[in-house]
Chain A
Amino acid sequence: MDEKRNIIRIDGYEKVTGRAKYCGDLYFDRMLYGKILRSKYAHAKILNINYEKALEIKGVHGVVTSWDVPGEKTIGAIRFDHFPFATDKALYSGDGIAAVACESEEICDRALEAINVEYEELPAIFDMFEAMKKESPIIKEEFDSNILTHYPLRKGNVEQGFKSSDLILEREFNTQFVEHAYIETEAVIAVPGEAKDCYEIYGSIQCPHSTRKGVARTMGVPLKNIRIIQANMGGAFGGKDDSMTILAVRACVLAKKTNRPVKVVYSREESIIDTYKRHPYNLKYKIGVSKDGKIQAMKVLMYADSGAYLSMTPFVTWRSVVQATGPYEVENVETDIYGIATNNPYTGAFRGFGSPQIIYAQESLMDEVAEKLGMDGVELRRINGYKQGSTTASCQKLEGHKVSLMEAMDKVIEKSDYFNKKEEFKIYNAKSERFKKGIGLSCSFRGCSLGAEGTDATGAIVSVQADGSIYILAGLAENGQGLKTTFSKIAADVFGIDVSNCSYLPQDTGFIADGGPTVASRSTLMGGSAVKLGAEIVRDRIKDSVKKTLEASSLDDIVFENGKVINIKNKKEIEFKKACEIAYFDGKNITAYGWYKAPDVYWDEEIGQGPAYFTYVYGSQIAELTVDTWTGKIFVDNAYAAHDVGNAINYTGTLGQIYGGVVQGMGYGLFEEVDVQDGFIKNTNLDEYFIPTVKDFGNIYPIVIENPDKYGPSGGKSLGEPTIELMSSAINNAVSNAMGKRFYKIPIDLETIVTGKQLKRKQKRGSEA
């Protein structure tokens, strides 16, 4: 355990000393700068683009539009519906119309001003319910309605369930657009290769192989012609997936046009305007329970605003449908989720991926139901919550892994002293006029990795050198989450050596196989398993070579420990280094490819039934807070987060994930909302889009639970996303506990607390904040 706690981040040195180069720090000979012209309207026909004037400006080397895209005009992870350059029509305010490549960014600004676009403004739709009306125009021609996706789930008979209920509660919840707000904005450099029609693309790219697909498609070249090289990443949180493919395509088209390297770095404003957000949801929950607290039926109807493009909406909403009823046994379930096209900014992947919305709603609902039944929310959760062998809404039996929901709840309750605090706060609140204190809990289960979304396999190369040092390279990417360290630790453990012996090679689609996207909290589970398999192949080859030296009668007698390779029978040992040297001179290939394919999963789309994921994680969080009822300010004094991670392979990294996710969850619940008015974002920088600062929360207490999973490397599984999905409902429940009043919309801002609702300024005024 102690050893796990003291791993030094293997890319820490370069990041702390500033030696690490991010894409914005890279320069190439004869490099130009690119900038994007975006739409003036949220919905418009593009009649004409005249850029002759721009080309006359000194230092402008090229202007490109959709016409210059040599291959297909569209990209898309699920359906090819997204135009990196608007073709005929602009569908939202962030749509790119043209791009320029110039000698400086300043010249780019002037060139963009000199481009004249003639538009014909079209009626735009910004409201999901408006979009669903029969008479509304269809926004996306390739779909036959504005309803882009629909996932149903049917189990049992809900009408019957409601009939046998003593209490039926119906509640509607709403969530907001949210911005990822990674520190580093999007950046790409497209470099024309030496060979014909080849391009190298450097960038802040979360899923290099996905980006490669989109670039090759639009450039009209085979995959092998495009190399995506990932620069160091200043965060992604799911936000640098298809958005970066769009940017890479734009830069690459400019590079082709000018035959020079082109660098495009988005400003914070561009980053906020251009790229996707978290889906706002409208959620209608109906729940029936019997007097004793047993849930009889749940009916859930949800709408997700997809904005102008499909992006990840199908997968995001699919996860919502699988998990909508929460970690509870419910016999009768009817769930429907619709993804709706509007002319709003498009929405896509964001840490949590369709779970923060539903958990906010369903966990708030659970507390309200419990209150109506006269019991504590915890009791209601204990009655209905998943236990070993429980069955999910899609009739999957939870087995083969430890169902640790109760353990997570028990631990977080104990650590926070939940029940005593509730009593204490009752006394405090009765006396206090201004401040009200509250405590609230929420819990969740989450399917690990991609599940039935699609193919789930990935690879890694483990290359041991003759001196015992090691190169590692995997198909999944370091986005700041600490993957390099965790993967190195997994390999180092196989060889019984310290992580510091490992180096992680730069991510390059030319050197590693496509192992799917770095998403869905799948890296440790999937990529880690591939690393482990690769390392084990090499280990066994080394064993074979040193068998003689160690006078071992069986390979099973040879173990790798504390930097040594040991024959446990005769206690003969050699340094790991020496063993590598022996294997090397023995002519052994001490580099290997590990490949891991996930166990089979299945989903019946018609009725929404099936074993959606091959394993699950469980977690529970508690928020303890003070509401200043006079100003509306909420301060989370203490947050507690218990998560089953299988095995905390990198303990510091585990804590980091929890701290970060909890705070991001607080932002989701209390501060953050992208203010979209008539399709345009009003708060385009971080002075008006509020993410929490270090002064905006109190203590965070992580509780790490380790029930090793048979599918994970050394039992490790998912953590990144579970950490963000619980805080908003824990906060909502704590606020209700404090104020005796419930809210159904996030963020719970100052105005909500004081006036009961959010207040929106219509027009921007300089003097008003």
Chain B
Amino acid sequence: MKYFDYFSFDTLGETLEFLKKQKHFVKIISGGTDLIIEFRKNSPKLENIDKVLDISRLRVLKVIEEDNDYVYIGPSCTHTEIVKNDIINKYFPALVEACLSIGCLQTRNQGTIGGNIVNSSPSADTVPALVSYNAELELLKDENIERIFKVKDFIKGPYKNELAKDEMLYCIRIPKDNTEDRLHVFEKLGRRNALSITRISVCANALLEDGKIKKITIVPGAVLPRFKNMKIAEDFLTGKKPQKEVLREASELVAKEVFDEVGERWSTPYKKPVLEKMAFVALCKMFKIEII
């Protein structure tokens, strides 16, 4: 167990002020469902860290709003809050599915979307959904200096991201293009049906026009060091009718693209065929094609 000092402020201003003043890296804590475990393990990731800054009391980080262009999600929203939110359910059902798949009810009540993103695990479940919806992050330094990243660019590798030491994640915003007409899917595989780290997931959404795929994004989870769209499969599918054989071919492309990148590992003989099948299952589900 690693021990630390705890700080918490009433306002965003004071919080940012405090962050700026620190010489060492301070750890922001939100739900703590990732961080406390790291502290308990005395993880090497926490070397040099002896202060924890609790942001869970800041109400501004807990709102979900929309305007014409975006839906804005406060990073301190818990998975349960997202699952219950009407706006998210209306536009981003795959994100709802992703949040619903996390841990167990207690984890979902405590863990937050911001924590899930900033922890930047390759098996973070909300991230494939966010990437598939082309979500962006607003990072705040002091109340004026803001940097914006696409989620897929923000995460640089396993547990690595662009967050600077005096910066915090302020908002997650997701563009609202054609969202209402899209089809969505999130498929996840773990060793268990609850409380299980994702082995493979596939998140996708698509827009159809005259029975043909006008636009599609496919983002796998837990198989790559960084999250990304499966460009080759997406291009292959664009303009085609979503028929079983086409989807099967696209799934092969997904597996190929992933494993061309990561190469052969201990788990590849399993993960490669299964990713292909998972992609196929996800695509069929999305386009409402029955498989048994």
Contact = CB atoms under 8 A, between A and B. Distances in A.
Interface stretch (A4-12, A738-746, A747-755): A747-755
Contacts of A754: 270, 273-274
Interface stretch (A176-184, A430-438, A459-467): A430-438
B104 to A, nearest CB: 8
A768 interface: yes
A1 interface: no
B222 to A, nearest CB: 7
A414 interface: no
Contact of B292 (A431, A695, A761, A766): A431
Contact of A109 (B1, B158, B196): B1
Given A435-B292, A631-B274, A695 B193 contact: yes
A434 B276 CA distance: 13
B189 A633 contact: yes
B193 A767 contact: no
A755 B292 contact: no
A687 B197 contact: yes
A209 to B, nearest CB: 35
A67 interface: no
A52 interface: no
Contacts of B196: 690
Given A433-B291, A434-B291, A754-B274, A769 B123 contact: yes
A632 B121 contact: no
A513 B56 CA distance: 56
A768 B191 CA distance: 13
A631 B278 contact: yes
Given A631-B274, A759-B267, A434 B292 contact: yes
A762 interface: yes
A630 B277 contact: yes
Contacts of B222: 769
A435 B290 CA distance: 13
Contacts of A671: 191-192
A769 B198 contact: yes
A540 interface: no
Contacts of A630: 274, 277-278, 281
A241 B57 CA distance: 46
Given A109-B1, A432-B292, A687 B267 contact: no
A673 to B, nearest CB: 11
Given A109-B1, A630-B281, A631-B278, A767 B194 contact: no
Interface string A241-275: 00000000000000000000000000000000000
Contact of A693 (B123, B194, B277): B194
A99 to B, nearest CB: 18
Contacts of A762: 266
A768 B189 contact: no
A106 interface: yes
A36 to B, nearest CB: 15
A692 interface: yes
Name B's interface SS. Answer: loop
Contact of A759 (B158, B192, B266): B266
Contact of B1 (A106, A631, A751): A106
Interface string A88-127: 0000000000000000011001000000000000000000
B97 to A, nearest CB: 16
Contact of B121 (A435, A694, A767): A767
Nearest to A431: B292
B114 interface: no
Nearest to B157: A767
Given A761-B267, A766-B159, A632 B292 contact: no
A767 B192 contact: no
Contacts of B270: 632, 750-751, 754-755, 759
Contacts of A761: 266-267
Nearest to A694: B194
A548 interface: no
Contacts of B277: 434, 630-631
A106 B193 contact: no
Contacts of A692: 192
A434 B3 CA distance: 50
A24 to B, nearest CB: 16
Nearest to B265: A768
Contacts of A694: 194
Given A632-B274, A693-B195, A769-B123, A755 B3 contact: no
Contacts of B32: none
B24 to A, nearest CB: 21
A671 B190 CA distance: 11
Given A631-B274, A761-B266, A769-B123, 12 more contacts: A630-B274, A671-B191, A690-B196, A693-B193, A693-B194, A693-B195, A695-B192, A696-B194, A749-B191, A754-B274, A762-B266, A767-B159
Identify the 6 closest CB pairs spanning chains A and B, nearest first. Answer: A630-B277, A695-B193, A767-B158, A769-B197, A695-B194, A767-B122
Interface of B: 1, 3, 104, 121-123, 158-159, 189, 191-199, 222, 225, 265-267, 269-270, 273-274, 277-278, 281, 291-292
Interface of A: 105-106, 109, 431-435, 630-633, 671, 687, 690, 692-696, 749-751, 754-755, 759-762, 766-769
